Amino acid sequence: MSEGDRRIRVVALGGTIAMAAQDGRAGVAPALDADALVHAVPGLQGLARIETESFARLPGAHLTLPDLLRLAHRIKQLFDDGVEGVVVTQGTDTIEESAMALDLLLAADQPVVVTGAMRDPAQPGADGPANLRNAVLVAASDRARGMGVLVTMNDEIHAARFVRKAHASRPSAFASAGAGPVGWTAEERVRIPLRLSGRVLVELPPDAKTIAPVALVTAALGDDGRLLRTLPGHGYEGVVVAGFGVGHVAECMVEDLTALARDMPVVLASRTGSGETFTGTYGFPGSEQDLLARGLIPAGVLAAPQARVLLALAMSAGWRRTSIAAAYDALSG
Ligand code: ASP
């Protein structure tokens, strides 16, 4: 079957790509459904057999892990029903987290491609139509099969584990930190010359009730980390610490982190959002070696928000510390 005959479902979640001015209210907000997005792209129907589905109409900031869990169940069902590729359109603010969650939860080989827009449809140079067209091309392409969840923005194709929103507003906002995109689109060609190693899959939880609350705390100069002490009282069951550089915190945070790590998984990421946490270079109190010896788990190449998604889903699936640590290591290649 040619790629133009593939059944591709465009599932809309909202975001800037679907935003429009609101009557009597300032600013744009999610308004357009999946049909409207598809109709705004000339020739899209010629690239595949496009089907549409409006799943949510939210800004990226309003999405939750339970929403993504429901979406993962829905996509699994679509594949079971014969859909050959899925495009998810959503707010770019949280694409790196939703791509990560879907990547962990969906075992199928069929492509799942997440995209969005940095400029709303009414702005000059709106990027939504080009991003959606590229996402459809990728979702219909054999080259995208078995690659896990991919993100297409600005003619580039990113792997879920590396992709970051690295600029607040430009159409070139998305980058694969420390790695580079796995591919690109040019004319109507999809190029994915790079493959990934170390896929990690987490059992799809049956419902959202089991999703573990995981806090994300960022180290900052001079902060004594008093927030850490309050986390168990707030019901958190896991913590990701976005440490300085390769995974460092101030000395005054060390005892609190040690106590937390006795009770729950505590993952150490880098607040730089690029590169991997170290394991054996620095030796001062609060260094990566010190913290790992106290039971923290290195996040490897995952940015702190993505490390949090993995921790929450793995805990929900009942994974213990060793399996959680192995997952971060595997995703790091
Ligand atoms: N600026 C965001 C976007 O690009 C807003 C959102 O995430 O909904 O879609």
The domain spanning residue 121 has which CATH number?
A: 3.40.50.1170
Whole-number pLDDT of residue 91: 98
Q: Which residue has the tokens 């390769």?
A: 246
* Residues 147 and 38 reside in one and the same domain: yes
To test ligand 1's pocket by mutation, which of 37, 93, 123 has the most ligand atoms within 8 angstroms of CB?
Answer: 93
What string of pLDDT tens digits covers the 333 residues of the chain? Answer: 677 799 999 999 999 999 999 888 899 999 999 999 999 999 999 999 999 999 999 999 999 999 999 999 999 999 999 999 999 999 999 999 999 999 999 999 999 999 999 999 999 999 999 999 999 999 999 999 999 999 999 999 999 999 999 999 999 999 998 899 999 999 999 999 999 999 999 999 888 888 999 999 999 999 999 999 999 999 999 999 999 999 999 999 999 999 999 999 999 999 999 999 999 999 999 999 999 999 999 999 999 999 999 999 999 999 999 999 999 999 999
Our count of domains for the chain comes to 2
Q: What percentage of the chain's residues is helix, strand, coil (to nearest 5)?
A: 35, 25, 40
Give a yes or no: residue 206 inside a domain. no
58 CA: nearest ligand 1 atom: 8
> Do 186 and 229 fall into the same domain?
no
Q: Which residues of 103-118 are buried (b: 16+ CB within 10 A; e: fewer)?
A: bbbbeeebbbbbbbbb
Ligand 1 contact, 121 CB (< 6 A): no
Count of residues in the chain: 333
| Assigned domain for 202 exists | no
19 and 165 within one domain: yes
Contact indicator for 152, 134 with CB cutoff of 8 Å:
yes
In a shared domain, residues 21 and 132 = yes
30 C-alpha vs ligand 1 centroid, how far in Å?
9
Residues 138 and 253 in one domain: no
60 pocket-lining for ligand 1 (C-beta < 6 Å)? yes
267 is in which domain, residue-wise?
Answer: 214-331
**Measured in angstroms, how far is the CA atom of residue 314 from the centroid of ligand 1?**
27
- Is 205 inside any structural domain? no
Is 117 contained in some domain?
A: yes
Query: Could you say which of 160, 191, 222 is where a domain stops?
Result: 191
Closest among 320, 330, 280 to 300, alpha carbons compared? 330
Which residue has a Cα nearest atom 9 of ligand 1?
91
Query: Which DSSP state fits 242?
Result: E
CB 179 within 8 A of CB 195: no
Would the CB of 119 count as within 6 Å of ligand 1? no
CATH number at residue 237: 3.40.50.40
Q: How far is the CA of 72 from the centre of ligand 1 (A)?
A: 21
Residues 65 and 185 reside in one and the same domain: yes
- Ligand 1 atom nearest residue 90's Cα: 9
- Classify residue 196: in a domain, yes or no: no
Q: What angle do CA 184, 188, 191 make, to 5 degrees?
A: 30
User: Does one domain contain both 221 and 305?
Assistant: yes
Measured from the Cβ of residue 203, the count of other Cβ atoms closer than 10 Å reads 14
Q: Are 172 and 232 in a shared domain?
A: no
The number of the ligand 1 atom at minimal distance from the alpha carbon of 95 is 7
30 lines ligand 1 (CB under 6 A): no
Q: Is 128 in the pocket of ligand 1 (CB under 6 A)?
A: no
Same-domain pairing of 37 and 144? yes
Q: Return the residue matching tokens 């209210």.
A: 25
Nearest atom within ligand 1 for CA of residue 14: 8
pLDDT at residue 1, as a whole number = 66
Residue 209 domain flag? no
User: Same structural domain for residues 305 and 219?
Assistant: yes
1 alpha carbon to ligand 1 midpoint, in Å? 36
Both 228 and 287 in one domain: the answer is yes
CB of 118 within 6 A of ligand 1: the answer is yes
Residue 200 maps to a domain: no
187 plus 260 within the same structural domain: no
Mutate which of 92, 95, 114, 115 for ligand 1 pocket (most atoms within 8 A of beta carbon): 92
How many angstroms separate the alpha carbon of residue 110 from the centre of ligand 1? 26
- In ligand 1, the atom with minimum distance to the C-alpha of 61 is 7
